[in-house]
Amino acid sequence: MAKAKTLYACTECGGQSPKWQGQCPHCGAWNTLVETLAAPAAARFENVAGARSSVTPLASVTPRATSRIATGLDEFDRVLGNGLVAGGVILLGGDPGIGKSTLLLQAGAALGAAHRTLYVTGEESAEQIALRAQRLGLVNAPIELLAEVQLEAIVAAINATAPEIVVIDSIQTVYTEALASAPGSVAQVRECAAQLTRLAKQRGVVVIFVGHVTKEGAIAGPRVLEHIVDTVLYFEGDPHSSFRLVRAIKNRFGAANELGVFAMTERGLRGVANPSALFMSQHAQGVAGSAVVATLEGSRPLLVEVQALVDPVQGGTPRRLAVGLDAQRLALLLAVLHRHGGVDTSGYDVFVNAVGGVRILEPAADLAVMLAVCSSLKNSPLPSKALVFGEVGLAGEVRPVQRGQERIREAAKLGFDTFLIPNMNKPKQVQENINIVPVDRVDEAIGWLRG
Ligand SMILES: Nc1ncnc2c1ncn2[C@@H]1O[C@H](COP(=O)(O)OP(=O)(O)OP(=O)(O)O)[C@@H](O)[C@H]1O
Ligand SMILES: [Mg+2]
Ligand SMILES: [Zn+2]
C-alpha cells in the first residue's frame, strides 16, 4: 500500500509543519506536534451522512428509533443507560488487569446469540481468549474472534462479515499503515479511533474500544478519544478487593455518573444489584475518624464510610492526602473547619479515604469528611449508627443536597438511626426511633460531635 503523505499538526493551535520539531513554529508551545494524515481533508472528515447535507428544520427530521440492545449483564446495561445503541461508540478504560476483557467477553457472549459479535484482539492471542472463555464457562459462546492489529485489515473484516457489535481490545494496539508513528502513539490512536468511529456511524454497528489508563489516570494517548466517542466508561475500585465499579463519565445516550457494581469471581464478573452496604468496614462499635455518608452516585444511594487520620506533623510541612475524594476539596474543607469551626489542623498531617476504592465526586460528602477529621483529631467516635451528609460552603453554611429523603430511607433500611443532615433536608415526618439532627452551620455539627 502506498504511504499516504503525513505532516505534523500542533495540538494547541492546529498549525502544521512538514517535519517534527520540539517547539511549534506557529504558537511556540512545546511538544505539541503530532503526526497526522495529509490526505485531502474532504475524504477524511466526510460527514456521517456520507454526502453533503443541507440545512433542515429540526421538526422535519425523523429521529432514528434507538432501540436498545441489552447486553445481558444488568449492571453493564445500567451504566450504558439501558443497553447499547446501534451506531454507538463506547470507550471502556481502566487499570491493567481490572477486568476489561472479562467484562466484554461476557457481554459479547451474551449478545452474540441474537446479534453478530466480532471480538478483535490485539493484546492476546485467540488461544488466550479461548482459555479465558473456558474459565468463564463460555466455550461455546456464539462470538467471532479476530486476532489483528492493522486497521485496514480490521475494517475489511467488518465490511466483509457485517457484525452488529465490534469489540476492539485494545485501541492502543491498533495501527494504520498510513502513519509512520508507533502503535499506541497519540497520532495512531486518534486516527484509528476516528476511522472506526466513522465506520460505526455509517454502518450502524456498535463499536466498543478498550483503552488503557496511564499512570496519571487518563486514557493513554488522547483525551481527544473522549470527545470522539459517545460514551466513556471507566473501571474503578480497589484492585485488592473483589468489587469492581464501572462509571459512565460521559454518555450521549444516558445519564453520566451512573455506576455499575460487580464482584470479580473465578467465573467472571457478577453484577451486584444491591450495593448500598458494600463500602463500609464492619465495626461493632463506633471508631474515631470514621463517618458514613449516603452518596447518590448514579441513580442508587450508596453508603460509603469516610475515614480520616489526623496526626501531628513529624517535621516538615503538613501532608494532606485524599484517596477516593478530591484533595483540593479537602484543603478547602480544612480551611472552613478552621475559620468557621475553630478547629485548627495546621500542625497535623491529614489523610482521608473512602472505603472500598469507591470515588466520591459529590459535595454531599463534605460534612462527613469534616466530621471524620474532627473525630480523629479529638479521638472521639461518632455514634455507631450515625449517618452524615451535606455540602459545606465557604461561609461555613451547610447546604442541602438533592434527594435527601431517599438517602435517609436507604440508610434507615440498613439500621442507621441517627442522621446529621442539612436543616433544609429535614424530612417533614420521620418514623419513630429515628433521630434527626438538622444543622445550618458547620459549628453546630462540630458542637454535636463534642456534645
Ligand atoms: N483463575 C482466575 N480466578 C479468578 N480470577 C481470575 C482468574 N484469572 C484471572 N482472574 C481475574 O481476572 C482479572 C483479569 O481480567 P482481564 O484480563 O479481563 O483484565 P483487563 O482489564 O482486560 O487487563 P489488561 O489491561 O491486562 O488487558 C485478574 O486481575 C483477576 O482478577
Ligand atoms: Mg485485557
Ligand atoms: Zn502551535
pLDDT mean across residues, the chain: 88
* pLDDT at res. 122: 93
Pocket test for ligand 1, best of 98, 119, 269 (most atoms within 8 A of CB): 98
For residue 448, name the pLDDT band (cuts at 50, 70, 90).
very high
For residue 240, name the pLDDT band (cuts at 50, 70, 90).
confident
Planar angle of CA 24, 25, 27, nearest 5 degrees? 70
Q: pLDDT at residue 2 above 60?
A: no
Q: pLDDT at residue 373 above 50?
A: yes
* pLDDT at res. 1: 47
* pLDDT at res. 119: 96
> Closest Cα partner for 93 from 176, 2, 209?
209
pLDDT more than 70, % of the chain: 92
Beta bridge partners of 150: 175
Overall average pLDDT of the 358-369 stretch: 93
Q: Which residue has the higher pLDDT, 27 or 40?
A: 27
Task: Point out the ligand 1 atom lying closest to the alpha carbon of residue 100.
Answer: 21
For residue 233, name the pLDDT band (cuts at 50, 70, 90).
very high
Residue 101 Cβ < 6 Å to ligand 1: yes
* pLDDT at res. 100: 94
CA of 5 to the centre of ligand 3 (A): 20
Give one word for 221, left, alpha or beta, with left for phi > 0 and alpha for psi -120 to 50.
left
Q: pLDDT at residue 44 above 70?
A: no
* pLDDT at res. 220: 54
Query: Among the listed ranges 104-118, 208-222, 432-446, which one has the minimum average pLDDT value?
Result: 208-222
- CB neighbour list of residue 203: distance below 8 Å, 6 or more residues apart: 87, 158, 159, 162
What is the pairing mode between strands 320-323 and 84-85? unpaired
Q: Which residue has the higher pLDDT, 280 or 85?
A: 85
Residues 91, 209 contacting (CB under 8 angstroms) = yes
Ligand minimally distant from the alpha carbon of residue 133: 1
Query: Among the listed ranges 37-41, 216-220, 298-302, which one has the minimum average pLDDT value?
Result: 216-220
For residue 213, name the pLDDT band (cuts at 50, 70, 90).
confident
Q: Which of 20-24, 118-122, 177-181 has the highest mean pLDDT?
A: 118-122
* pLDDT at res. 431: 79
Ligand minimally distant from the alpha carbon of residue 14: 3
Q: pLDDT at residue 267 above 60?
A: yes
* pLDDT at res. 367: 97
Pocket test for ligand 1, best of 119, 264, 265, 270 (most atoms within 8 A of CB): 264
Task: Point out the ligand 1 atom lying closest to the alpha carbon of residue 104.
Answer: 18
- CA distances 344 to 118, 184, 251, 311, 317, Å, are 59, 48, 42, 12, 15
pLDDT tens-digit series, residues 313-350 = 988 899 999 999 999 999 999 999 999 999 999 999 99
* pLDDT at res. 237: 75
Instruction: Report d(CA 368, CA 364) in Å as an integer.
Output: 8
Overall average pLDDT of the 281-303 stretch: 85
Which amino acid belongs to residue 413? K
CA of 101 to the centre of ligand 2 (A): 4
- CA distances 4 to 37, 146, 171, 221, Å, are 7, 26, 21, 22
Overall average pLDDT of the 201-217 stretch: 83
Residue 223 Cβ < 6 Å to ligand 1: no
* pLDDT at res. 51: 58
Query: Among the listed ranges 70-79, 179-188, 362-371, which one has the minimum average pLDDT value?
Result: 179-188
Residue 100 Cβ < 6 Å to ligand 1: yes
pLDDT more than 90, % of the chain: 58
Task: Point out the ligand 1 atom lying closest to the alpha carbon of residue 123.
Answer: 27
Q: pLDDT at residue 56 above 60?
A: yes
Task: Point out the ligand 1 atom lying closest to the alpha carbon of residue 264.
Answer: 31
- CA distances 168 to 143, 151, 207, Å, are 13, 10, 7
pTM of the model: 0.82
Cis amide linkage into residue 170, ω under 30° from 0: yes
* pLDDT at res. 3: 58
Instruction: Report d(CA 259, CA 233) in Å as an integer.
Output: 9
Q: pLDDT at residue 48 above 80?
A: no
Instruction: Report d(CA 139, CA 141) in Å as an integer.
Output: 6
Q: pLDDT at residue 4 above 70?
A: no
Instruction: Report d(CA 204, CA 90) in Å as an integer.
Output: 13
Residues 371, 415 contacting (CB under 8 angstroms) = no
For residue 277, name the pLDDT band (cuts at 50, 70, 90).
confident
pLDDT tens-digit series, residues 383-411 = 989 999 999 999 999 999 999 999 999 89
- CA distances 345 to 63, 291, 349, 396, Å, are 57, 18, 8, 16
Size of the chain, expressed as the number of residues it contains: 451
Q: Which residue has the higher pLDDT, 16 or 366?
A: 366
Q: pLDDT at residue 92 above 80?
A: yes
pLDDT tens-digit series, residues 411-441 = 998 889 999 999 999 998 887 889 999 999 9
What is the pairing mode between strands 243-251 and 206-212? unpaired
Overall average pLDDT of the 14-43 stretch: 80
Overall average pLDDT of the 184-191 stretch: 85
Cell of 43: 475524504
